[in-house]
Structure 1
Amino acid sequence: MSVDRALFEHVLHAHQRLQGKLDFGQLVDFLVVELPRRLGLPAAELQLADPDGELAALLPERLLGQRCLQLAVDPFDLESLYLAVPQVEVVEFGDERMFRILAWDDKAGGAVLMPLIEAGHLLGSYHWGLRSPQWEAGRPDHELMRSLTQSISAAFVRIRQHQQADQYTLLDPVTAVGNQRAFRRALGRELARAGRFAQPISLLYLTLDEQEDLYRQYGEAACRFALKRVVQRLSSDLRETDSLSRIADDKFAVLLPACSEHHGHDIAERMCRDIEDFAIDDGRGGALYSTLSIGVVTWTPDTLPAENLERLSVLLQAEAETALAQAVLAGGNRVSMARLGVLMV
């Protein structure tokens, strides 16, 4: 029996794409948008095992909640899609499993189920919707699709390992919060979200006052310990949606999504008072005390719309830097506010 020539060429192209440099977003887009369009299929879908929420943390936000991508908390939900050992399988329209796959698409008259397996573990299930109730696929076509699922599985494992390793490069080794790279990523992401939902976002730049005096009096180890304790204290006061990053040796940034100028100021003042009263064990039976200087700036999309988010990011950081410098020059242990002018971005 001869292999379907068109299918062979598309699968060959898919192998080449899957071996290239892709992130999770590009991989999912290729599998559920580009490849089915090339094949003339009405729809495609990915169901992936994610019992620990690990994938949800790595996937781009725009993909979460999409109908064509589903994350299964219970691996049994995926295993039960297959009648016996997971293998490439054609499902006809009357099969009860059609209520559990591609249920959102009314054009699919059947489906091809393709298990994604790595080292004996079911990573997920990839589904092609079919226009006709039954697809006359011979054994060579099944073998071809089996090779495709192997390439997809390998790509998922490779990308997941790469992005997990990438997560470690986003952490500051001393304080275990995000570093400057993590901050820039978070800022770009949150500015886009703020613009999309027309919500204000506040940016705080802060520094510990008189760090040089602490270093001279207690040494580097004690200074690092104090820094970690202050960061832990600040982190405990933040919401899950907020982010704290160390962007320089003596400077931190706090992103406060959905936070107005008024609330941003209140949060910064609370941080100042909290750290001012915070006693840190100095290891000698005494206590270390420090204070904060904080600069605050807020972007409100409704009143200051912006098209160029990269330019907006630069302006926000510059204003936060200016406000922080003013707080330091005024003696520290205080909050200074900055305001964006008329945006031309």
Structure 2
Amino acid sequence: MGPIDKENKDLRRSLHLLASKVERNEAILRSFFEIELRLLSCSNLAELLDLILIDFKQHFRLTAVNLILFDPECAARCLLEDYTPPEPGHSLRFVTNQRLLKSLFPTSELRIGELSAPLKSIAFPSNPYVLSSALLPLIRHNCLIGSLHLGSNDPARYSEHFDYDYIGHLASVIAVCFENCINQQNLKRLSIIDMLTKVNNRRAFDQEIIRELSRASRNKTPLSCLFIDLDYFKLVNDSFGHQVGDKVLRSVGLLLNKNLRKTDFVARYGGEEFAILLPNCDSEKAIEIGNQLRHKILHMVVHNNDNEPFRVSASIGVTSCCHSSFAFDNLDAQAHAVLKAADEAVYLAKEKGRNRIEYRSLPDMKPELFSQLSGDLKSI
């Protein structure tokens, strides 16, 4: 083989290696582009966390993915009350100050390669098999809001000798997504939560009862509704002032949230009235639950501005519907019938002396009543 042939052979080998490298880089970029689109499409914080902590690990074939978030006002944690991070337990951590984050990123630049033992204990506290890693600072508006840790058991996976601009870009996208998800969820939360009592508001209840009626009809399960009206609440406001009245409403809202199932739905329906939906709960069980709540409210102690204790009572109306009572496809009409029966039961409880519970069954949903209910709905 002559010198020219050898040179051509070496050149072809170099071109082949270069083409292979280009193909690998293109595959990596496509992979990151796909992940970036999925990140930007996340609509809530739990979905975003699952994508980062679970899907990243599988997609990038990593040994560990851990995340630390700066959450000084518990804005993120309030949105994740029912969220369970994947194992191990240290995959997701929240911090209320930036000391830990700044110890990871003294220069706000990503860290690549093998970590020292102290840093590894912070970044991967429950995974000793991480031999190389990429620690990504999450920065928004020049503020360090978190740290994402990608760990591999391959010591050559992440090396300080390589360029990782695409990982730095991914960190920027993730930081934006966290900010967007938290802001969007908080805005949505503000639109459906009663700010005084921290339970759902009437708008949320009116939407939820349609969903629950649809589910009950589809699954052929009962649905019960409770209306709770605090007795002589105007007297509380007149005697002690509206601040004490607000304290009573907050206390009742907290009591209801603490004493019901996660599947139950509590809302402040208006003024001193609360409404509760009890899915998969028949009339007998609903009356039992109503009496338990009435008893707890009666024994709840509130203090006025002079620190003097006093108590309040409640009148409770209950109604239930089962599959056989779903006479129409129009769920608005069905919802109106449920609310009307529960409201009438409350008035009956008040007429009979207050601090009691009354049950009112749904009227027979005969076809001739449909037009009347539809007319009532239009007038609301």
Mapping of 1:11-160 within 5 angstroms?
A: 11-63=32-84, 67=89, 68-82=91-105, 84-92=106-114, 94-137=116-159, 141-160=163-182
Mapping of 1:202-213 within 5 angstroms?
A: 204-207=226-229
Alignment correspondent of 1:253: 275
Q: Select which of 284, 294, 299 maps to 2:316.
A: 294
Q: CA deviation at 1:75?
A: 1.6
Alignment correspondent of 1:268: 294
Higher share in helix = 2
Seq. identity, %: 23
* Maintained 8 Å contact 1:327/1:334: no
Aligned with 1:328: secondary structure? helix
Q: CA deviation at 1:19?
A: 2.3
* Maintained 8 Å contact 1:49/1:123: yes
Equivalent residue letter for 2:294: A
The superposition leaves residues 114-141 of structure 1 with CA deviations (integer Å, 9 ceiling, x where unpaired) of 0100111111001111121243547774
Q: Select which of 230, 235, 242 maps to 2:250.
A: 235
Alignment correspondent of 2:376: none
* Maintained 8 Å contact 1:179/1:246: yes
TM-score (normalised: structure 2): 0.59
Distance 1:274 1:50 in 2: 33
Give the unaligned 5+ runs of structure 2.
1-17, 210-223, 260-264, 279-284, 305-311, 321-333, 361-380
Q: Is 2:344 the partner of 1:325?
A: yes
TM-score (normalised: structure 1): 0.65
Alignment correspondent of 2:28: 7
Distance 2:100 2:184 in 1: 27
Closer, same or farther: CA 269–136 of 1 in aligned 2, 3 Å: closer
Aligned with 1:36: secondary structure? helix
Q: CA deviation at 1:49?
A: 0.8
Alignment correspondent of 1:198: none
Aligned residues: 288
Closer, same or farther: CA 7–73 of 1 in aligned 2, 3 Å: same
* Maintained 8 Å contact 1:63/1:69: no
Distance 1:154 1:292 in 2: 47
Equivalent residue letter for 2:251: S
The superposition leaves residues 72-98 of structure 1 with CA deviations (integer Å, 9 ceiling, x where unpaired) of 12321111112x312221241554211
Aligned with 2:69: secondary structure? strand
Distance 1:260 1:326 in 2: 13
* Maintained 8 Å contact 1:25/1:60: no
Closer, same or farther: CA 76–337 of 1 in aligned 2, 3 Å: farther
Aligned with 1:105: secondary structure? coil
Q: CA deviation at 1:147?
A: 0.6
Distance 1:78 1:7 in 2: 28
> What do you get for the CA RMSD once the two structures are aligned?
4.7
Q: CA deviation at 1:65?
A: 8.5
Q: Larger Cα Rg: Structure 1 or Structure 2?
A: 2
* Maintained 8 Å contact 2:42/2:48: no
Distance 2:343 2:300 in 1: 18
Distance 2:258 2:313 in 1: 25
Distance 1:9 1:59 in 2: 31
Distance 2:38 2:207 in 1: 26
Closer, same or farther: CA 101–176 of 1 in aligned 2, 3 Å: closer
Equivalent residue letter for 2:345: Q
* Maintained 8 Å contact 1:319/1:338: no
The superposition leaves residues 275-312 of structure 1 with CA deviations (integer Å, 9 ceiling, x where unpaired) of 9x999xxxxxxxxxx974213699xxxxxxxxxxxxxx
Q: CA deviation at 1:37?
A: 0.8
Alignment correspondent of 1:192: none
